[in-house]
Chain A
């Protein structure tokens, strides 16, 4: 079955360390996205990519970086510059057409202490 795989499901890091969250999709979607979810704040867009080797900042990109070297993969690095990294991170993908819904992975819960 096609879908989006995020790994790991839970991740623990010490403050000051960079950490990379994995996102892989086999839906053949062009566009991929990273969202951050905090209680009571809904989802906020970190980065998005519409095509391989291209990506754009979302609303809260500071302290994060991404790459899109393959259509299937869109890893997110949470750097030590991110002031409040503890959160639930969701990866999504979609075809490029505007009326297509997003398909989500099951998320990675990152805890930084």
Chain B
């Protein structure tokens, strides 16, 4: 069965410091990978996605992620965070199956807290 593990439940960081939010997945087939951000009492907003091609994916708000097939990882990074990046971040995997339903599996989330 496919699963997604976000290795840190909380990540505190100072403003303007770099940050990495870690995500590992388990799947024996091709996957599509996503990172979402959730601000308090709101829905999820797509940050970036990996479908194929270049393993380094750039998203909104200065975030990027690198797909590593051998390590089954899809870590999210930002070189310099802002207070406004304080939110919860979810990694998700969608298994590519031709036809039929493709389930989106979410990790438990990582709460990023940016301090001044």
24 contacts between A and B (CB under 8 A): A9-B41, A40-B9, A40-B108, A42-B107, A42-B109, A43-B44, A43-B90, A50-B101, A56-B101, A92-B43, A92-B44, A98-B94, A98-B95, A98-B98, A99-B51, A99-B94, A99-B96, A101-B34, A102-B44, A102-B46, A102-B104, A104-B44, A106-B41, A107-B42
**In the complex, what residue of chain B is closest to A39 when comparing beta carbons?**
B109
**In the complex, what residue of chain B is closest to A49 when comparing beta carbons?**
B101
Given A99-B32, A99-B96, also A43-B106 (CB < 8 A): yes
Residues of chain A having any CB pair with chain B under 8 Å: 4, 6, 9, 33, 40-43, 45, 48, 50, 56, 90, 92, 98-99, 101-107, 109
A50 proximity list for chain B (CB < 8 A)? 101
B69 within 8 A of A: no
Residues of chain B having any CB pair with chain A under 8 Å: 9, 32, 34, 36, 41-46, 49, 51, 90, 94-98, 101-104, 106-109
Choice from A42, A98, A101 contacting B46 with Cβ under 8 Å: A101
A9 proximity list for chain B (CB < 8 A)? 41
What is the distance, in angstroms, from A97's C-beta to the closest C-beta of chain B?
8
Choice from B43, B46, B107 contacting A90 with Cβ under 8 Å: B43
A106 proximity list for chain B (CB < 8 A)? 41-43
B101 proximity list for chain A (CB < 8 A)? 48, 50, 56
Choice from A45, A48, A99, A105 contacting B43 with Cβ under 8 Å: A105
B36 proximity list for chain A (CB < 8 A)? 104
What is the bound-complex CA distance between A109 and B104, given in angstroms? 22
Nearest first, the 3 closest Cβ-Cβ pairs linking A and B are A104-B43, A98-B102, A42-B108
A48 proximity list for chain B (CB < 8 A)? 101
What is the distance, in angstroms, from B33's C-beta to the closest C-beta of chain A?
10
Q: Are A98 and B41 in touch, CB under 8 angstroms?
A: no
Choice from B42, B51, B103, B108 contacting A45 with Cβ under 8 Å: B103
Choice from B45, B90, B96, B108 contacting A98 with Cβ under 8 Å: B96
A103 proximity list for chain B (CB < 8 A)? 46
